[in-house]
Chains A and B, each alone.
Chain A
Amino acid sequence: MIEIDNLSKSFTLHNQGGAEIPVMAGASLRVAAGECVALTGASGAGKSTLMRMIYGNYLCQSGSIIVGGVDIARAEPREILALRREVLGYVSQFLRVVPRVPTLDVVAEPLLIVGEDESRARERAAELLARLNIPERLWSLSPTTFSGGEQQRVNIARGFAHDYPALLLDEPTASLDAANREVVMSMIEAAKARGAAIIGIFHDEAARDRLCDRVVDVTRFVPGLA
């Protein structure tokens, strides 16, 4: 489902003397449907950078990233957007929303943009929020004022609203209490069971051991270190 070949990335800082910082070389990785792969490596080794490249958020200098038949390294913006709508989901650590939009709508939005009927989308959103223990009295409010843990759970609800065939998870269980952590882990297991290909960053070792079929240390993709 996700096929990464010989990927390289460097940052050129034009306003800091044109410094060129190579951050990744020869990164290759394959994730099959129903498989969950954990990225590991010390902070700064490039886990998030690789995730962002897969999501099309960072450009790559060379190589290919094929998700659902589309090469993200070469695709047009609208092809990447279509892929993000239908195929590739991303649960980041931070919630980014338009102020004023109610939580229920934030969670339902991914379903509405793939053409799901409005009442069904809201029903599904409500079900996810309830499962993640977001009190119903908060659903009509914007999540911008919620606590960190609540925002994280709204973010997860949104990321799991549509059944994406491929999912990127950046620390999905961080900052959650034991009960909610268990809910999120069972959601990830359910996504695997329905055949989603998952790449995740899990600092939570117990979660990683339970959910992941393989571990890939991105340190071996750091130029000059391999």
Chain B
Amino acid sequence: MTTPLLSVRDIEKRYGARIGCTGVGFDLYPGEVMGIVGESGSGKSTLLNCLAGHLTPDQGEVIYHDRQGVGRDTVTMSEPERRMLSRTDWAFVHQNPRDGLRMGVSAGGNVGERLMAVGHRHYGGIRSVATDWLGRVEIADDRIDDRPSSFSGGMQQRLQIARNLVTGPRLVFMDEPTGGLDVSVQARLLDLLRGLVRQMGLSVILVTHDLAVVRLLADRLMVMKSGHVVETGLTDQVLDDPQHAYTQLLVSSVLQA
């Protein structure tokens, strides 16, 4: 039996008296893509931020099994350790690429910076890896010295993905990665993400309100409402045979194109 990459136990985050999320637990295995769906305010982003170490949960454990197979609770580890983890083993793709990119630095620089942060020093080597990654996310190599502010939204998002994946992370957190992009750009991004997830064997926790996105990308789903997980299961099973009243409502509310 393989060990889970991430074991989450009884996570709770409150904002004063209000519940952000509560009683959340699951195991994520290597190579698994888990979607978290729910409406705005359901607690899915709060949960993602607790898991990724951007917010400190009020209770619970997030045990990450590192490359040596050692399990460590990321909630209680020191800030420098957690930062190291987020530069090496973890990646976070923000909904708004501006939150994940440095807008004043060139495209190549955005990718190279992640490499330098983990100790790469050879300029030529960094530039060639950056060029390779821009190609993998379908950005022409003559744009390497341009700033992301001159890129379209879809290109910015692809650049953010390159910046995140260049260091070969094992676990990627994604917050609405296709939100705010028009549909043709979304399809291209989804196709790209699917390919990268398979080639790199990535584990992904993906927050979205878009059921079509999870159907294409996620192996399994967690449905949240008012801070609680109301249903979990295989993605197509949850979408095609939803059990909870809220999931049934969510699925039946999707407009048919």
What's the minimum C-beta distance from A119 to chain B, rounded to whole angstroms? 16
User: Residue of A at shortest CB range from B32?
Assistant: A78
Task: Assess whether B248 is in contact with A100, with CB atoms less than 8 Å apart.
Answer: no
Interface status of A113 (Cβ within 8 A of chain B) = yes
Known A-B contacts A15-B249, A98-B194; the reply to A59 vs B243 at CB < 8 A is: yes
What's the minimum C-beta distance from A117 to chain B, rounded to whole angstroms? 14
What string of 1s and 0s marks CB contacts (under 8 Å) between A155-177 and chain B? 00000000000000000000000
Interface status of B89 (Cβ within 8 A of chain A) = no
Task: Assess whether A101 is in contact with B191, with CB atoms less than 8 Å apart.
Answer: yes
Task: Assess whether A98 is in contact with B190, with CB atoms less than 8 Å apart.
Answer: yes
Task: Assess whether A15 is in contact with B191, with CB atoms less than 8 Å apart.
Answer: no
Of the residues A12, A98, A99, A101, contact of B243 by C-beta under 8 Å: A12
Chain B residues near A13 (CB, 8 Å)? Answer: 248
Known A-B contacts A15-B252, A77-B219, A98-B216; the reply to A56 vs B245 at CB < 8 A is: no
Chain B residues near A52 (CB, 8 Å)? Answer: 240-241
What string of 1s and 0s marks CB contacts (under 8 Å) between A44-78 and chain B? 00000000100011110000000000000000011
A77 to B216, CA, bound (A): 16
Q: Which of A11, A99, A113 has the most CB of B within 10 A?
A: A99
Task: Assess whether A78 is in contact with B219, with CB atoms less than 8 Å apart.
Answer: yes
Known A-B contacts A78-B29, A98-B216, A101-B191; the reply to A15 vs B243 at CB < 8 A is: no
Interface window among B45-53, B73-81, B231-239: B231-239
Interface status of B102 (Cβ within 8 A of chain A) = no
User: Residue of B at shortest CB range from A12?
Assistant: B243
Interface status of B121 (Cβ within 8 A of chain A) = no
Task: Assess whether A57 is in contact with B248, with CB atoms less than 8 Å apart.
Answer: no
Of the residues A14, A15, A57, A112, contact of B236 by C-beta under 8 Å: A57
Q: Which residues in chain A, 5-62, are within 8 Å of chain B measured between CB atoms?
A: 11-15, 52, 56-59
User: Residue of A at shortest CB range from B28?
Assistant: A78
Task: Assess whether A57 is in contact with B219, with CB atoms less than 8 Å apart.
Answer: no
Interface status of B136 (Cβ within 8 A of chain A) = no
Task: Assess whether A57 is in contact with B252, with CB atoms less than 8 Å apart.
Answer: no
Interface status of B127 (Cβ within 8 A of chain A) = no
Main secondary structure of the interface of B (DSSP, over half): helix
User: Residue of A at shortest CB range from B199?
Assistant: A112
| A interface residues, tally (CB under 8 Å) | 20
A77 to B194, CA, bound (A): 18
Task: Assess whether A113 is in contact with B191, with CB atoms less than 8 Å apart.
Answer: no
Interface status of B72 (Cβ within 8 A of chain A) = no
Interface status of A193 (Cβ within 8 A of chain B) = no
A80 to B235, CA, bound (A): 11
What's the minimum C-beta distance from B244 to chain A, rounded to whole angstroms? 7
A77 to B238, CA, bound (A): 11
What's the minimum C-beta distance from A65 to chain B, rounded to whole angstroms? 13
Task: Assess whether B237 is in contact with A59, with CB atoms less than 8 Å apart.
Answer: yes
Chain A residues near B235 (CB, 8 Å)? Answer: 77
A12 to B241, CA, bound (A): 10
A101 to B198, CA, bound (A): 15
Of the residues B32, B216, B237, B244, contact of A58 by C-beta under 8 Å: B237
Of the residues B191, B216, B234, B245, contact of A80 by C-beta under 8 Å: B234
Chain B residues near A12 (CB, 8 Å)? Answer: 243
Known A-B contacts A14-B245, A15-B248, A77-B220; the reply to A57 vs B32 at CB < 8 A is: no
Chain B residues near A100 (CB, 8 Å)? Answer: 187-188, 191
Q: Which residues of A contact B (CB under 8 A)?
A: 11-15, 52, 56-59, 77-78, 80-81, 98-101, 112-113
In the A-B complex, the 8 residue pairs with the smallest Cβ-Cβ separation, listed nearest first, are A14-B245, A77-B220, A99-B187, A77-B234, A58-B241, A98-B191, A100-B191, A57-B236
